[in-house]
Structure 1
Amino acid sequence: MVGLLLAAPTLGLAQSAQQREAAKTEVWKPVPAVVATPEHAAPSDATVLFDGKGLDAWESESGGKAPWSVADGVLTVLPGSKGIRTKKNFCDLQLHVEWRSPADTNGVSGQNRGNSGIFLQDRYELQVLDSHDNPTYANGQAASIYKQAIPAVNASRPPGVWQSYDVIWKAPRFSEGGGLRSPARITVLHNGVLVQDDTVLAGKTEYIGAPSYSAHGCAPIALQDHDSKVSFRNIWVRELPSR
């Protein structure tokens, strides 16, 4: 009995010593801000760019009112009207976009089927394309960084079915003299599947020729008119702290 009585205080002292050692590696501040994450809605700290109600956050790529159509909560490209871009400029960000290629493929294939694009900082294109059973050049299919980076897998759904991109974008950095300090980097999940894993970009998107950088600052997010009635919904962005 005496041995048991002595063991209990000894055990308590040992636990206190462990707790003091453990406390040395506990960090209590800064306390992370609380962000509400309602189901099927943007996080509470996000900037909603399109919620189905209007295009107040957007303008035509040539200036003036955004010309695309909005009906039943869906934004759809008006072919021939030119692209649209956000009125606000962005640098580092988290972006969520849902998109849908036309259900009727009209017998077209390759780059002519459900083609659009999401441009980060108005220069760097994340390809939007109907890539379900639709062969094309690999660095031009859905979820490619156009003409630069092939997606790890093809996670495309059939035409007419909603798809999603979740993007982490790290903007390029330039010196005061205009030289490149650090290149742009992008991570993309296509329909929840990782397809671009911290991919390093060689420069802005080019249709012809090699990509290259020229100094710039924060810039709009743009959606491309590529003569196809691609639709979009639930577009939101979270601005990230600069690295």
Structure 2
Amino acid sequence: MLRNVRKTTLLSLTILSFGSNLCQAESESTDLLAAGNFAAFQENSIRGWVYTSKVNAVDGRQALTFEPAGDGKGSILVNGKEKNNTAYLLSKDDFQDVRVQLEFLIPKGSNSGIYLMGRYEIQIFDSYGAKQPASSGLGGLYQRWDPERKDKPGFDGVAPRLNASKAPGQWQTLDITFRAPRFNEDGAKTQNALFEKVFVNGQLVHENQEASGPTRSAKFNDEKASGPVMVQGDHGPIAIRKFLVTPL
């Protein structure tokens, strides 16, 4: 168990539709930001991330304004004021089937993402006003990448059903119910990873969407039964004020 991390019991039930029709209760939810420090994250993944008590987006720019807070005094996690080489943020704990609830803010043109098991990315991007949803837009299952596929190295990306993006500078939400891939006793994969449901700002954008393998820029290029939750840190500024992870 993690130290200094608040636990919140969720009473709701979810239907386990991936390989079973059994009803399975959610377990305790871990608030990764509760301590106002990095107790819930891998030490080598926090470079460039800081806590603050207030953050704003700069109008018309890919930038944030904030002042760093002292240890335990900030409730909002940010990865810098502008695009930089901030590390990808990884949870200390590994997870299998999981629900992730994220509340975030990005400035104009910014780009990030949340990776389930450090491998399968749901994109975070400033898609406000885009008429055609894309796999590279907010809520998209990002593409896989194989440079040996000369004609189309990017493949298997899935656009969200609709563009639910709010304007840059507003707080937005992602709510993801994810099922880890399954393997037999010999280690062969028997079922792909599955995004059972993905909501962006309360709107359903994916349902029972398989991920055939790790997406581009994943931390790990293999597939296993468990892995950490990860946030992309080096593509653009992002602020996070809610980060709940609930094993299913």
CA distance in 2, matches of 1:44, 1:137: 33
2:182 is aligned with 1:173: yes
Match of 1:74 among 73, 76, 83: 76
Letter in 2 for 1:164: T
Change in 2 beyond 3 A, CA 1:136/1:193? closer
Matched with 1:197 is 207
- SS of the counterpart of 2:205? strand
Give how far 1:66 is off: 4.9
- SS of the counterpart of 1:58? coil
Match of 1:123 among 119, 126, 136: 119
Matched with 1:23 is none
- SS of the counterpart of 2:28? coil
On the 8 A contact 1:52/1:70 being kept in 2, the answer is no
Letter in 1 for 2:239: S
What is the TM-score normalised by the length of structure 1? 0.70
Range moving further from structure 2, 79-88 or 174-183: 174-183
Matched with 1:55 is 38
What do the CA deviations read for 1:114-142 (whole angstroms, capped 9, x no partner)?
A: 10010000100010001002578811111
What do the CA deviations read for 1:98-156 (whole angstroms, capped 9, x no partner)?
A: 11112xx3xxxxxxx21001000010001000100257881111100102211000000
CA distance in 2, matches of 1:65, 1:225: 9
On the 8 A contact 2:132/2:163 being kept in 1, the answer is no
Higher share in helix: 1
Match of 1:145 among 141, 144, 149: 141
On the 8 A contact 1:59/1:66 being kept in 2, the answer is no
On the 8 A contact 2:10/2:29 being kept in 1, the answer is no
On the 8 A contact 1:95/1:235 being kept in 2, the answer is yes
Matched with 1:85 is 90
Matched with 1:233 is 241
Matched with 1:100 is 105
Letter in 1 for 2:96: C
Percent of aligned positions that are identical: 28
Runs of 4 or more consecutive aligned structure 1 residues displaced over 4 Å after TM superposition: 34-37, 134-137
Give how far 1:201 is off: 1.1
- SS of the counterpart of 2:42? strand
Letter in 1 for 2:95: F
Give how far 1:206 is off: 2.4
What value does the CA root-mean-square deviation take over the aligned residues?
2.5
CA distance in 2, matches of 1:204, 1:227: 18
Give how far 1:35 is off: 4.2
Structure 2 residues not aligned, in runs of 5+: 1-8, 13-25, 54-74, 144-156
Higher share in strand: 2
Change in 2 beyond 3 A, CA 1:197/1:44? closer
2:231 is aligned with 1:220: no
Greater Rg over alpha carbons, structure: 1
CA distance in 2, matches of 1:101, 1:65: 19
